[in-house]
Structure 1
Amino acid sequence: MSRHPQTGPLLLVNASHPLPISKTPDLVCADPRWPEVQLDRQAAGQLRACIRAVKGENAIVPVSGWRSLDQQQAIWDDTIRQEGEAFTRQYVALPGCSEHQTGLAIDLGLAAETIDFIRPNFPYSGVCGAFRKLAACYGFILRYPAGKESITGIAHEPWHFRYVGTPHARFMTDQCLVLEEYVELLRRKHSKQPLLVPAGSRIYRIRSCRELFREDLDAALAGRCQISSDNCGGYIVTDWR
């Protein structure tokens, strides 16, 4: 058995599970026109591909991507001053507990002369609706849907998308699961018997574990599987061997 770094696209980050690492992820611009909005490299590539697929290059604007701890603290403090504590706790994650600090989360807005940084307009119709329908195919989920507030601890945010990877995004979207529920499902039911998820030409075998076998680490190094910490004391192994 062995341990693995606390990283990966399935990190659960919320008020009960603070970000476990301080290392800055491998970041690139989500869109060269907005160089200040950065994402994890793989997430950024998939986001651009999804926006191109719906011909949304001139309509969909990346509003907020990776944030440092200091930036998240400043947003928290500013929103508290301007909107009050109740509003802030609904729409802004606690510093150290924000998905934006992973580089895997992106807030999107419909292009307009003025865009609200905290609550950008990203409707369910038009090009934004088309993006929603394809998002899972490119590895993104709507992280804070309506009806799941008691689980996520965050109000419905139609603009906030999280990269988790294609097989996971497809399964979560099909089953109407948020990341908290998905991690718990894997831990409860798929530690011994993997979850099988078809995506494209592959069938992915997904399992949860507390410790990793040497064969898992070797397969990950060889590019035959992916290991992600779940930030709940275990790992999620996604195997396509």
Structure 2
Amino acid sequence: MSETDPAAAGLVTCEIAEGVALLRLERPSVRNALSLPLLVRLAGLMVSCDADREVRCIVLTGGVRVFSAGADVEMLSGHNPASYMVSENRQAFDRIRETRKPVVAAVAGYCLGGGCEIALGCDFVVAADNAVFGQPEINLGIIPGAGGTQLWAPRAGSGVQARAVLEGGLVGAYEARRRGIADCVVPVEALIPAAMEIAAALAAKAPLAVQAAKSAMRFGWRAPMAAALELEVVTMAGLLASEDAAEGIDAFLAKRQPSFGGR
């Protein structure tokens, strides 16, 4: 699947002005669920912005109503362990996370599952006062598969990460700020201007120095984090073969309570 597919063009829009690229997720009818076409389109735009000398910073948002409620669960239902390991959606998450230029996430409303993993992989998280963060994958009989078992701890500590991943609960904007998940909280109407203000300040810095600083700060990701993320993907892929995962995904799609048997 190509990120230049005309059918996917409207799923993520891109506006570039004064050194800042504003990327906006555009599936509001399904709370910006991360379908494969959306992920591929987003990854392609991130790579393009990374290569564009005119772009010095990226702002990623879903607007003032919702960031993303997470993965399109129907997409997961078609995978087995082998196919998930080499899937386009797994590769898209990797490409998004590996962006060299600074990325500011402007988060409003639900920021769950894969959406939360994308936000926490950014360099700054600006939260609207209506933002809600969470990793609810455990409720489907699976685990986060795009960084959720790793990305909370550097910001908020291992205890907060354990609660997020093992309980699958939700964290409101102000609690997210107290725990270090969000860098600041602003009124929802000020969300995009606040994120753009941070991005403009970053865009005014020496671009080579900014990219070098980001690379240096993330140096530890290249071995320990990379190994941990790979283990996460392998574990997630294995769980897709379990009866519990099939039950959890089917129950979610059927809008009923799951009955897990530990198999």
TM over 0.5: no
Q: Which has the higher helix share?
A: 2
Report the TM-score when normalising by structure 2: 0.27
Superposition TM-score, scaled by structure 1 size: 0.29
Higher strand share: 1
* Higher RCO (C-alpha under 8 Å, 6+ residues apart): 1
